[in-house]
Amino acid sequence: MGCAMEILYQDSDILVCIKPARVLSTDEPGGLPGLVREALGDPKADVRTVHRLDRVVSGVMVLARNARAASELSRQIREDQFRKEYLAVVHGRPESPEGTLRDLLARDKARRMTFVADAPGKGVQEAALSYRVLEYADGMSLVRVRLHTGRTHQIRVQFSSRGMPLVGERKYAVLDDPCEIALWSAKIGFHYPETGEWAEFSKEPPAVFPWTEFGKIIP
């Protein structure tokens, strides 16, 4: 596919890399595990997806290198012990510089879209995230987001439904921003499968618009 694969860390249990935009997280043709195997020069390498990013989203991901590590990381995700922090640039300015967004979300599988539901019901799930505004520039806000639930398109829908679509959004807003969607998996944290020690991996977004409109964005 011609995508350069940036590997931040690897050992016999895990591999941490940067998922490029427009690459699927799952193990299917053109998906991230296949790109990792290509980068490793081993088409049979044991590389397993344990969490996902939307196809259009880039940033830090961890993959398991064996069944035991995959099981342990998946358990941490289920039990909300796996930390995921994102950076996003949204149009507009949140009313509060920090807070928690809570919604009921439902999925329209036919249209492959998520929407805010008015009331609980079949297929409706609770969604929650915390955010903090880091900086403002030219009608845009740079926000750090921590997910408490992992719903499809959650960050995009929760901000867009409040009139603050992400810069570069194409699905949940009609925008003509000259860039990919400004949503970046900036930091992940988890207990190392073998030792139980806490590990964190982070990476700044690329030096392109709209990230370049702001100062240093990862402490």
Q: What are residue 135's DSSP bridge partners?
A: 142
The single residue of 54, 103, 108, 176 carrying the catalytic annotation is 54
The CATH code of the domain at 6-213 is: 3.30.2350.10
The 8-class DSSP code of residue 166 comes to: B
How confident is the model over 27-80, as pLDDT tens digits? 999 999 999 999 999 999 999 999 999 999 999 999 999 999 999 999 999 998
**Beta strands of the chain (E only): which ranges?**
6-10, 14-19, 48-49, 58-64, 83-91, 98-108, 113-116, 125-137, 140-147, 183-191, 198-202
Q: What predicted TM-score, i.e. pTM, was given to this entire model?
A: 0.92
With contact defined as beta carbons under 8 Å apart, do 181 and 53 qualify? no
The 8-class DSSP code of residue 171 comes to: S
The question of whether 54 is a catalytic residue gets the answer yes
How confident is the model over 121-170, as pLDDT tens digits? 999 999 999 999 999 999 999 999 999 998 999 999 999 999 999 999 99
Residue with tokens 């139980």: 196
